[in-house]
Chain A
Amino acid sequence: MIRKLIYFFCCMLPYLALAQVQMSPAEVSAFKKSLQKAKEIKTLETDFVQYKHMSFIKKPVESTGKLYVQHPDRLSWSYTSPFAYKMVFKAGKVLINDQGKRQSIDVSNSKQFEKISHLVSSAIRGEEYNEKEFAVSYLKEAGGSTIKLVPKTTDTKRYIKEISLLFSGSDNLVREIILREPSGDYTRFVLKNRKINTKLHDSVFNF
């Protein structure tokens, strides 16, 4: 019996380590405080891999690119593979460059892009989330923390079910963003090779 119990716990150990649990109020407070250090971040440069998971296909659709953020209002989101596509959020406008063809982004894209770009900027700078717009919960796990945002407004609920921002335990920077849709399908953005406070060339935010 004891052997079975040991075997059971050994099997469950990886899952227990990965399990997310709600932070206590004291832990939330400490976590928020640790994010305050991020206010010193003026720029972020990172590679990203985007995985689109859909219930009816086995492997996710994958694309890669570069993300640049410059405080307070500049963000460049460009795909490099399998296609070249650049979106820039600058001075309240969203512009796209599709292999040389420049245009304003369409409504269906811009809603989510605007939402995510604002969230990324906020997350990077450790800013508070709008609790009128989202129900915010704080979770902890081995190796990091997660902020879960559940939309409160009917309009946002129609296309986003939940947003998860995963922070790495070592530097408290966002390492992953998961956007879950009402259908249960989701998009996962994994940020890699993050560099902070490097000088970003103006051309990054141009076409």
Chain B
Amino acid sequence: MLMQLTLGGLSQGMIYALIALSLTVVYRSTTVVNFGHGDFVMAGAFLSYVLVVLAGVAFLPAAVLAMIAMFVLGVLFNRGLIRPVRGGPHIGLALMCIAAGYVLRGIARMVWGREVLPMPAVFDMQPIFLGNLVITGDAVFIIGTVLVLLLILFGLLAMTDLGKMIQAVYQSPRGARLIGLNVDRFNDFSWGIGAALGALGGILVAPVSLLHPDLGASFLIKGFAAMTLGGFGSLGGAVLGGVLLGLAEQYAGAYLDSALIEITAYVVIVAVLFIRPQGLFGRKAVVKV
């Protein structure tokens, strides 16, 4: 049972990791937390649904197209709606993100409001039985895809100057501008990547969760919990936090009470912030006065 829970937790955790990672990418380079991210996740899933089921595109190209579309949407969102309110109160940005999420959800509701749609399984594979342990196609597919993606992403960060640029923009946008970085374009790029990664989370989860306009609602808080656990702003921490949260949910649900799955993320947030506010890898979160 422990092994099975671990596997289930890993495959859920990979989705959380992806969502936490996409939130962190945006936060690191723009210091904005996208409070509407759940709906970006949902929008990615619906885009791929439209392409696969309604336009007959194969899954893989559809997923890539949906991610590109969400990249563009992320860039447009930054340019059209985030930039104009940057001069206002900082938390106006949080509300702007929520408002954008509402618009996305509103569109989905308008078109598919009364439906719960099935998304065809991508990776139809007979489950493998190892004794009592069942390994399903979904789990293999989700874990595999996210691992490959993480390798590429962290490889890029390690081998290029991208990581340093992100760090520079995060620490001081003005300083980054001084050394010749185009911060505006950099922010566009981060929003695009964040939206595309979030969309991928949606695309991966949709065959499991089914499609409905409220699909993304629960993912935002899981992303937050994963980020908090790993250390806010740490890319590696976001991934580890996501995986740990996935595992914690399964263990709490099976060994304690299934009613606790719902609040595992919240308990993690409260506990981490009170006990070790910097998370596993983050910098100090508390302010000393």
Note whether A and B form a binding pair: no
Interface residues of B (CB under 8 A from A): none
Interface residues of A (CB under 8 A from B): none
